[in-house]
Chain A
Amino acid sequence: MSALSAGLLATDVLAQEASTPGSPGVNITIFGLFVAVTIVIVLRASKFNKTATDYYAAGRSFTGRQNGVAIAGDYLSAASFLGITGAIALAGYDGFLYSIGFLVAWLVALLLVAELLRNTGKFTMADVLSFRMRQRPVRTAAAISTLTVSFFYLLAQMAGAGGLVSLLLGVTSDIGQSVTIAVVGVLMIVYVLVGGMKGTTWVQIIKAVLLISGAAVMTVWVLSKYGFNLSNVLGAAVDNSPEVGEALLAPGVLYGGSTLTQIDFISLSLALVLGTAGLPHVLMRFYTVPSSKEARRSVVWAISLIGLFYLFSLVLGFGAAAIVGPDAIEAAPGGQNSAALLLAFELGGTLLLGFISAVAFATILAVVAGLTITASASFAHDVYANVIKRGKFAADGEVRVARITALTIGAVSIVGGILAKDQNIAFLVALAFAVAASANLPTILFTLLWKRFNTRGSVFSIYGGLLTAVTLIVFSPVVSGSPSSMLQGVDFSWFPLNNPGLVSIPLAFFLGWLGTVTSKEYNAEKWAELEVRSLTGAGAEKAVVH
């Protein structure tokens, strides 16, 4: 990793002295308003949480458009809003790569996964992966992988919460930040425990509307300052970035240093484009609609909104460089993750900053709630109900276990978030994408599309991809051995790339093939059921009528 990118990923320690823009009072008031409104909605939604289908899949009663907006709300996490804007502000072109990878990835979901998955599964990713395999080994593997991916994703969101809080409330002490991360954690547990999937979905819909409108207003505002000419915005960004200058407009600021960083860039690109369709919390959203046609509509809505938002973030990123300037961004508490917020303050003062930061808080809250419900559903439905109890348990037992799991996950993610709070959020999310693309995507594609695929292939691919990806991350410069590592003062890194995708994703595909051809198992009956169901929708889970 080049010195520049190391600098970009690290938080400026000296920044702790910087003052807080805006008024903490206004910030807290707007945020409080959002929490109050959403809690009321969650409470109303909770009246309908009678069965497991209600709790996990909102009774399959959302329309494609509602679910599409909710997916955008789920997907446009703090990584997209704060992380990408910051990365573009400081690295220009190289930051834009995240937007492109995150967007193009949706075509994998649209063309190969969403509808087939909706027609085949019930509540979780593991439902589909274990459909025509031996249940226990595949379900267990898929559940472990779901929990791991969700954990990495949670880590990124919690890290975002830490940085955000330090900027907005002027909380610079470690204890103060930890307390606020804990408050975010407790709020999200309330949403999930009370509201289930329906409550969580409504929180995501409201948040998506607020986030996209807020970003649209800021984009028009930035453009209006430069005669609605993108080229002028880029020019102003170059003029205001004395260190990087013209290089902002070309590739290479982050990843141009050496052959190693170039390979790292390819690795990241691969993880981004293949990760989305393997993210359990995105996949689970397809079960909240009544049919595969609605699942398709969801994806179309999601792609439109997400694409639009990333176009906004291009303007916002260069706008932040032009109006706020890289020095001020790096000096602020929260470092580059604060670029979008500083831009809001420069444009619209205390009130716009208050609104945008409430939106950013809401973003984290909503995404964390979505992740928590996915992880808890996977544990309760896959591990508890199907592996431990083998389908024999009290009627309300599964949902009760899901709620207890949500509590546990909340606690774990609070601790993780405190550890990771100084990393770029988009970068941390990219790790979750790498794990998802390695552990989940090969098995999803093989199980839906390859007749011969079997239990051993599934188990090899899931565990192989998961272990490789996680091991390579642990022994990469992300965790130790570089100035921006999570752990300082120790160095046990031997894997040179920051993102493991280039190694772990092809390996997982290969292991899926290897496991399959070395096993004779093949269940023709279940393959017929899966293939016919996935393409025709016959026998698919229907909506619940209350």
Chain B
Amino acid sequence: MRATRFAKVVRSTLAVPLLLATSMGNPAMAAGTDGLTLPEGFSATVVQEGQGTGRHLAVAANGDIYLASRNGLVAMRDKDGDGKADETMKFGDVQGTEVRLFKNWLYVSDNVGVYRYRLKKGELAPTGPREVVVDGFPMERQHADKTFALDPKGTVYVNVGAPSNSCQQNDRQEGSLGQNPCPILEKYGGVWVFPANQVNQKATDGRRFATGMRNAVAIEWNAAQKALYAVIHGRDSIDTLFPTLYNAEDNATRQGEEFHRITDGGDYGWPYTFWDTRLGKRVLAPEYGGDGKKEPEAGKYPAPLVAYPAHWAPNDLLFYAGKNFPAKYQGGAFIAFHGSWNRAPEPQAGYKVVFQPMKNGKPTGPYEVFADGFAGEMADNNPRNARYRPVGLAVGPDGSLYVSDSQKGRVWRIRHGGM
């Protein structure tokens, strides 16, 4: 099926006024932030919106922006450098989450496969056929997004999320114990690798690189460290599933979202354990004999580099090596947190982009909130009422940080210094 059959040029009629300096005492607002709160000296421009349920995005060396969305793939070009898309094209026939550039190819994914389109010079949207890199991942409904990372040698690292909360005999059923060993881990709950330059591979051709990862939506190759990293969605519902051990406040605060360096053969502990941020240690999951404090065998699973608050939903990870941001950001990580639903009835949280200071691939201090204010008032404590939800991150050739949103398909360009 040729992508051109679906290509459609849409002239941008974007008319989103920036919120200007009406907010007193917030210097960032004065520079134009579209209502987001940013550190001093940063500004945000709306590139585009209305592109459906936005997911990840990628920016090419020429500045062209590619957004994956639940509604299809979108290419955007800013011709005059003002940060706003002047040309927008929908293309292809893939509805999914990931989009990455590798050599002259655009790699994308949906819930069952990874595909690629050749990008020809000067072409905004690819016109050639879609090639299958790998397909045949089982169709699932839970944690089905096949996000992936690429290393410079041409390896695709595919996150195969577990279609389960905690591998209970009966998923999400109160008191149901865990399957041991968890059979889901044979096909899911880890990272599988495939060569990027081979076509028509099947999911079963892949090699399992790492396991014990419930859903590593935020997965990224760190070029400086030559290593894979991921921030993993932790488990839900310890309170409703095991009410004699945990209450709603426990559920809202204890299961950390774990940031790991992912090594070949690594096992990160799902579903048998979770990182308890209150205790500051890994504990056995209640489905597997946990009593709220019992620990697994020492050394069996690594501690995370950092654990972020429960249910924040880390949906993208990016190591900053661009030219535009101040020196402190070099080598550090940006993480897009989509925001919680499972904290209810406690207040929802997340819905922000944080910066994790790092040096030589290791954290050097607590995270800092980098961009906030996405969700707005969020009536009724329900995520559906969030104004925006950050979901994807990318860096442009000039070092600008691009952020995508899943509520309105909005894309921002965030820069330091002048607009």
A and B interact: no
